[in-house]
Structure 1
């Protein structure tokens, strides 16, 4: 619990210094959307990421204070992260052929966000958005150059989320996942039909989540460093959701991350606001397709 309180204190301090951030980023978005260019849309994705962090932090703090309105902020954060990811992914596919000629950013920095976002969309049962994110995540794992190879070789959480999505969607899992050791997440798969063993595995996941919720430097890139994914163990709740969907028991586990306040995920309703609608329209207009 101490780690959670420290993180919440950091969030409150950050919010106290964030006056004007939303207005500034919205101004940037207006300017970049008006440019009707690939570079402009890439900038829009960056601004959406900043807004997603702001609303994710604001939502987590509100939820910890017992305010149900915090879930609306978390939902907004996730929708902004969704469109930021879609824009980054499409920009990469449109420019990846330029690699070797000029520097083109790949999707390495989006990998963990995609995994966390997929978990949240499974929890919210937004199958349409989850399918789009799963497609992007699968591409990150299989398309050469999409993610730095040395970085990708070390990752375990993101491939696991594709396995969980395959169970959720009742579709096939990537062949690459079946031959991959998923580390601590492998125990969830191995103990899927063993209630007691699964409970122990899930408690391990909660402990791991809390240990990877902040970037303190060092070689490892923490999976859950971005709000609202740092204090909401959405991957654990996604496992609960999938098991409920399949009519399987949900093990009772103990973790400070699973408080009554943060477990009220029926309030996680992900819908588009006016900004998301504008970004979606720009996406479809520029790329000539929908997600």
Structure 2
């Protein structure tokens, strides 16, 4: 255990914990965008920066480990100003299609922009559009919505152990590409951790907003693992599947059947009454 101070609060923290994890244990909210609790620290968005007494520059709290005697400040005028600058860099080329985006209403980027009250970022189209090289029959990639946070890449590597996708290039030249497309199982792990609408399902025709849907928790019936999921229902039709990170044995993960195999429920050709065989028919 090490002694640290965060925003004036003295605490004992186990060695190996990050500043972000330590702050969360005492209810201190540090803004994040690329951080996901099922993934190893990424540190790409620079929204979780904090000040450490004695150090000249802010550090990213998601991948900075606690040390004995650290004195951390998570909120200051300088940090607030720098976070706004970092967020505006992300928004500079981000597609302004929130009204038609699948994630509108439950988008991490939209939420953090609202939190910081940013309304004055002029959209500037990229000189050269990103290609949408990464796509499967079940997953659609929207390159102009992508903020290159690396969540999808990290999930594919660390949770699924597949490594089918990666980000190549830096800055405005960065792009998401399939590096091992033959390994991709279309499991949707990348889609489930995406903080924006850059990765969406390429299947359902019937869409609905979160505030219009009714979500019903249930157990996947495709095998005996008992994975937990939520069916999104609109006008008595299942329109999608969602999971929660801290729920069930699957902890938010699903296979391709569990995540995308729901359209049969509302298929018009599905049998709705028992059939009796008579005279061989």
Shared fold (TM-score, shorter chain, > 0.5): no
Higher RCO structure (Cα 8 Å, ≥6 apart): 1
- TM-score in terms of structure 1 length: 0.26
Work out which of the two has the higher radius of gyration on C-alpha atoms and give 1 or 2. 2
- What is the TM-score of this pair, normalised by structure 2? 0.27
